[in-house]
Amino acid sequence: MERNFTLEPAVFANLTDFAQERLGGKVLFATDEFFAPKESLIKPGRSDFSPATFNETGQVYDGWETRRKGGRTGMDFAIVELGVQCIIRGVDIDTNHFLGNHPPYAALDAMRYDPNTRDVAKLSKEDAPWQEILQRVPLKQGCQNIFSVFSPEIWQAVRLRIYPDGGVARLRVFGEPRHDWGSISQKKISDLALITNGGTVVACNDMFFGNKDNLIYPGRGVNMGDGWETKRRREEGNDWVIVKLGIAGTVDNIEIDTNHFKGNSPKEAWVDCVHAPASRVDYLTWPDYEWKPLLAKTSIQPHNQHFFAKDKILFNGPITHVRLNINNGGVSRLRINGHHI
């Protein structure tokens, strides 16, 4: 049956790009990168372009570009290893600034394997056992080409095929993370909220200055833009963000990091929790939903890591979601460290 791959942003509008470098994405191989390097495919942001900037191969492009094949037949491909195994829901094949030299068509394959034992030589063979998850589709020049993906399986890497040649600025692979908790001892303390452990920020009331997803990214924030920040609140109440943990677990300690937020960190913060493995996100935002205190309201300092040990944790049972509450401002990272069950 032929599927209609039309623009359906609602399918994956709230999902994360797991091909990006900051989550561990890597471009492992490309059949050709004569004009522009394959690594540019997963660089942050949309591509830049400066006309009349040339190197020894020609005009400089911020993207991946192969040489001409001299006709309408043939194929080039690039292999991107995702930073996190995930179910892929959508893809953006961005041809920004490639005008007259973009590939007319593209397709996407996927594969699952252990990154610790991968063999790039085998993966890069044209007849390697890749599974097509996006059939050959037409691409428009100089724009984001966004497609839904209908595949319920868990994948580790994708292979972008372009026909017959040309340039792609960026490749974004949006999905739902799937962490292998079976390989992790229940005695080990893990960050249950970390995005690479399957955590997801499912809702927030405001992210005017900083995206909610930054809260659960690896590492400390690199600048003030790499955090969750609300607009200045003039009315009564507080701001909040809800994180779905990668797996149900019990909490051992919590970290709230306001790195780089020096004049705009919240004065206070507190954390609630709930065990709701089957609840829909919209139910969790109902005012009468039974949230339990996990961390009492506490003072927060600017540009500082705040650690709250076991004796500060108010609920010892299993939980699936946490709600960070602040009286407006910016938080760089939230860590929910505990044991999975």
Q: What is the CATH number of the domain that holds 16?
A: 2.60.120.260
| pLDDT higher than threshold 60 for residue 282 | no
Write down which residue in 155, 177, 199 finishes a domain.
177
Claim to verify: residue 239 and residue 127 sit in the same structural domain: no
Share of the chain above pLDDT 90, in %: 85
Q: What is the pLDDT of residues 95-127, one digit of tens each?
A: 999 999 999 999 999 999 999 999 999 999 999
Q: What pLDDT does residue 338 have?
A: 98
Claim to verify: residue 224 and residue 318 sit in the same structural domain: yes
Q: What is the pLDDT of residues 146-180, one digit of tens each?
A: 999 999 999 999 999 999 999 999 999 999 999 98
The residue to which tokens 């989550």 are assigned: 23
The vertex-66 CA angle with 64 and 67, nearest 5°, equals: 150
Claim to verify: residue 173 and residue 209 sit in the same structural domain: no
First to last CA, the chain: 41
Claim to verify: residue 195 and residue 65 sit in the same structural domain: no
Claim to verify: residue 221 and residue 112 sit in the same structural domain: no
Q: What pLDDT does residue 235 have?
A: 92
Enter the DSSP assignment of 233: P
Question: With bands split at pLDDT 50, 70 and 90, how would you rate the model's confidence at 2?
Answer: very low
Write down which residue in 177, 201, 231 finishes a domain.
177
Q: What is the pLDDT of residues 168-216, one digit of tens each?
A: 999 999 999 999 899 899 999 999 999 999 999 989 999 999 999 999 9
Q: What pLDDT does residue 53 have?
A: 92
Claim to verify: residue 254 and residue 308 sit in the same structural domain: yes
Note whether residue 2 is domain-resident: no
Question: With bands split at pLDDT 50, 70 and 90, how would you rate the model's confidence at 288?
Answer: low
Q: What is the pLDDT of residues 291-336, one digit of tens each?
A: 999 999 999 999 999 999 999 999 999 999 999 999 999 999 999 9
Claim to verify: residue 171 and residue 215 sit in the same structural domain: no
Claim to verify: residue 51 and residue 117 sit in the same structural domain: yes
Q: What is the pLDDT of residues 28-38, one digit of tens each?
A: 999 999 999 99
Q: What pLDDT does residue 10 have?
A: 54
Biggest alpha carbon–alpha carbon distance for the chain:
69
Q: What is the pLDDT of residues 250-281, one digit of tens each?
A: 999 999 999 999 999 999 999 999 998 876 66
| pLDDT higher than threshold 60 for residue 3 | no
Q: Which of 66, 70, 50 is nearest to 103 (CA)?
A: 66
Q: Which domain holds residue 51?
A: 9-177
Q: What pLDDT does residue 6 have?
A: 44
Question: With bands split at pLDDT 50, 70 and 90, how would you rate the model's confidence at 15?
Answer: confident
Q: What pLDDT does residue 20 have?
A: 96
Token pair of 87 as six digits: 């179910």
Q: Number of folded domains in the chain?
A: 2
Token pair of 63 as six digits: 């993207």
The vertex-18 CA angle with 24 and 41, nearest 5°, equals: 80
Determine the 3-state secondary structure of 341 from DSSP.
coil
| Mean pLDDT, residues 14-21 | 92
In this structure, the dihedral spanned by the alpha carbons of residues 205, 209, 214 and 220, taken in order and rounded to 10 degrees, is -130
pTM of the prediction?
0.88
Say if CB 30 and CB 76 are below 8 A apart.
yes
Q: What is the pLDDT of residues 75-89, one digit of tens each?
A: 999 999 999 999 999
Count of alpha carbons within 13 angstroms of residue 249, beta-carbon side: 27
Say if CB 284 and CB 202 are below 8 A apart.
yes
Note whether residue 36 is domain-resident: yes
Claim to verify: residue 49 and residue 34 sit in the same structural domain: yes
- Distance in angstroms (rounded) separating the CA atoms of residues 324 and 300: 13
Q: What pLDDT does residue 273 have?
A: 96
Mean pLDDT of the chain: 93
Write down which residue in 151, 177, 203 finishes a domain.
177
Claim to verify: residue 77 and residue 165 sit in the same structural domain: yes
Enter the DSSP assignment of 113: -
Say if CB 263 and CB 322 are below 8 A apart.
no
Q: Can you give the length of the chain in residues? A: 341
